[in-house]
A and B are shown apart, each in its own frame.
Chain A
Amino acid sequence: MSAKTRMIEVRENVLKQNDIVARELRRKFHDAGVFVVSMVSSPGAGKTALLENTLTRLRQECRVAALVGDLATENDAARLARSQAPVKQIITGTVCHLEAAMIDRALEGWKLDELDFLFLENVGNMVCPSSYDLGEDLRLVLMSVTEGEDKPLKYPTIFNSADVALITKIDLATAVEFDATAANRNIQAVRPGMAILDVSVKSGAGLDEFLDFLRARRADAQTVLGARAAT
């Protein structure tokens, strides 16, 4: 029997399933009026420290919550719970990133309209999270001064998938001879126009500016959604 080979044309996004769930999440978040901020970085860049501080401070003025992803342990959720904000750990097992469906499952039973901000802390990984939309409004990429100024050049895709870059542990900049000019230049090279904020949870440097930035971005998003609803 002779088999005939032919070509079938298709056009299917491999991440279709994730993108569908992410789109649905984004709609839910917008309907509920919650502003969703995700955080990506390498392990140890300071996502949890910054998040704990942010939750503690924002909680004084509005309703905040967080989901935190890790391959194993509930350590980060326990740490973040000290902020008194609702926090849930997502244990990904062998999966090296968060996916939209994991967020969707973790939020089951949550009343999103009772929140102003929801934070999503991704698994520490500079590669895989870049491919997955989580339905967030704003994605922060963190790099600490101890990691080297060329991090953006080594991981351009993750910087490109993010909206804002945070340079963390800025209190250590002098000790590790961090070249801020080179770091900024490298971030701008891979993502021209990207907003950059310097922060240190330890010294408190840049934290007020960071919160102002989040409040402003949330206000902007609400204005856009309000205008869209009015038309």
Chain B
Amino acid sequence: MHELSIAMSIVELAQEEADRRGDIRIKAVHLRLGALSGVVKDALFSSYAMACDDTPLEGSRLVVEDVPVIIFCKQCDGQRPVHSTQMFCCADCGTPTGEIVQGKELLVVGLEVEE
């Protein structure tokens, strides 16, 4: 359960970004969360509310965009989704591959702010 420390990093990072831009108030933080990030979304939501307590972000929302795993399939010679995280093979042709192109993201991509 490392979601609380992740949530605290998100809050800190968002606040630093806001501070750099002057007198603004964060209403929501938008996050891209990869299926292989190792972070559990539900635990992150509850941790986020806790991490925001007594900070300028108190009452703000966390908006999460799930990022699926994309692999490079040599057989198809292109980027393809995987069958599942339990079955790392090309969803189209079934070739097993460990070449991950996307899915480890844990990125703050946007802040909804009020001026």
Contact = CB atoms under 8 A, between A and B. Distances in A.
6 nearest A-B residue pairs (beta carbon): A192-B96, A131-B38, A130-B38, A128-B2, A3-B114, A156-B85
Given A5-B27, A12-B17, A192-B98, A157 B36 contact: yes
Interface in B1-20: 1-2, 5-6, 9-10, 13, 17
Contacts of B50: none
B21 to A, nearest CB: 7
A127 B13 CA distance: 23
Nearest to A9: B110
B97 interface: yes
Contacts of B111: 7-8, 10
5 contacts: A128-B1, A131-B6, A160-B36, A161-B38, A189-B87
Interface in B79-115: 85-89, 96-98, 100, 106-115
Contacts of A6: 112-113, 115
Interface in A56-106: 95-97
B83 to A, nearest CB: 9
Contacts of B110: 7-10
Interface string B17-55: 100010001010001000011110000000000000000
Contacts of A96: 1-2
Q: How large is the interface on A (under 10, 10 to 19, 20 to 34, 35 or more residues)?
A: 35 or more
A195 B61 CA distance: 43
A191 interface: yes
Given A3-B114, A15-B106, A192 B1 contact: no
Given A14-B13, A15-B9, A192 B37 contact: no
Contacts of A95: 2, 5
Interface in A195-229: none
Contact of B6 (A10, A14, A188): A14
Contacts of B112: 5-8
Contact of B17 (A8, A128, A131, A194): A8
A14 B2 contact: no
A3 B21 CA distance: 16
Contact of B106 (A3, A14, A189): A14
A159 to B, nearest CB: 10
Given A4-B114, A5-B113, A9-B109, A14 B86 contact: no
A16 interface: yes
